[in-house]
Structure 1
Amino acid sequence: MSHIPENAPAHCPGTQSEDAGKTSACAGCPNQNICASGAVSGPDPAIEIIRERLSKVKYKLLVLSGKGGVGKSTVTSLLGHALAASSSDVGILDADICGPSQPRVLGVSGEQVHNSGSGWSPVYVSDNLSLMSIGFLLGSPDDAVIWRGPKKNGMIKQFLSEVDWGELDYLIIDTPPGTSDEHLSTAQYLSKAGLNGAIVVTTPQEVALLDVRKELQFCSKVGIKVLGVIENMSLFICPSCKVRSEIFPATTGGAEQMCSDANVTLLGRLPLDPLVARCCDEGRNPLTELPNSPASDALKKIVDS
């Protein structure tokens, strides 16, 4: 009987099938080339290597959203800052291969990654907050990463298996929009590493919720626990007069209604604050720059929950 790898894509033909690595279901699978060559009879050996590499990381979290432009990278950086402020050791892995923004958001653009006998060393934003991103490996911030799926999958595998994070309380993985190559690869590579779950980010309007619902379905199909949903840009707060306005109206009930329908937890809402956006553009920590802002207060409640 043909072996079906754990967390394989739907309709996987199995490693011993004549169609292994050749069907449309195989597209984007990290094992596609190996299966097609007939050289595999079990799971990717990198899965066990990754399990050992991340064995000293207590909690491993994905930040997901089926929709682009909802502020996923901003939310990831804010969560990293907030958890680090609580004296936790935090690592952030920027798995958005084609759009790495974490070096800029966290204020470490231009830094370089060093390699040693124990692997790649992440770049430290502060004493207990570190980052790994392909942005550190590019010659210029304007360089485009024009790669097909297998090469992106290989980069994610390399990040997960070769970065020396040391002992961490949290590893937060910032993913690109969608439910394709990078997401399938990350889920498969972490299948034995004790992935704790995903935090899903959305904005209130229906055009975003349409794609975010697909992300919830993706998590269900590949066995990723949804820890909760964060509604970003929930309200616009004027930095001068503090008046609150709905920039993205929740015409279908917003994240609250979606969470009720999908039976998942709404962790909280983050307002759209231009001052927070400016801090992220300039690589400054909004929690220390704007400690009493509505966005900082809302984030603290989300982290507490």
Structure 2
Amino acid sequence: MKIEVKNLTKKYKDKLALNNISFTLEGPKLYGLLGRNGAGKTTFMDILAGNIRASKGEILIDGEVPFDNQKLTESVCLIKEGHNFKRDLTVKNVLKIYSYFYPKWDQNLADELIEFYDLNKNARVKSLSKGMESSLGIIVGLASKAPITVFDEPYIGLDAAARKKFYELLLEEFETDKRMIILSTHLIDEVSLMFEEVLIIQKGSLVMQEEAEYLRNNTCAVTGTRDEVSTFIQGKEVLETKELAGVMTAYVYGNAADAKSQGLRVESIPIQELMIYLTEGKKGA
């Protein structure tokens, strides 16, 4: 499926959550949607899922607006970090309701994951711990088989082992039944190798959209003497420089393949650090 975001703007009274943002996503692909708290990520996901309207601009899914469009809302499954389900429903009822809503629902997968996460089907949502409620959201998101599956910090309350299992399941399901998966997370170091494409949003604006492999290969920290590094970075996109005792390190966006040949030390920049640099008010890439 294809998502076209065209001059999308969303205001809440005096707060501008999204500011004339435009980009395109095409699946199947695994996207990382990154940014700090309050960047506008959740607002974008709510508009994509048809939960709210844009103030200006639009999101189109295969050429159609998702708001008040049941055919499209059946194609998008949004799992947020909490409050996904009515509190008085039992786990069993949650699964039954979602199985009716999503045409490609995989009940066998849902049953397997209920057993793995050790959820009591007769327990009410309001009785679940935060981790158990997150597990239920993960189960619904994966079992929905929705062509566009969106996870917004879905692992709150899960320990490291349970999160690792979620990442493994996510990759398995993506390989088995290709779909567009959008994962918004603050635990970037845990999942960055999964991403095929990365989007970074800051203060309602898109500051980067790039293939993850390109970022891994073309963003680096270059270290040497002040004169060596200053000469090397001329004409290059520099995110940040640091200097200590005559030694300079420059964080460079772009091809730095010739740095080693000039005697400089080169290290890759984790995507999490790249996101921090781009959202600290410094020059973007």
TM-score (norm: length of structure 2): 0.25
If each structure's strand is expressed as a fraction of its own residues, which one has the higher value?
A: 2
Which structure: larger Rg?
2
TM-score scaled by length of structure 1: 0.24
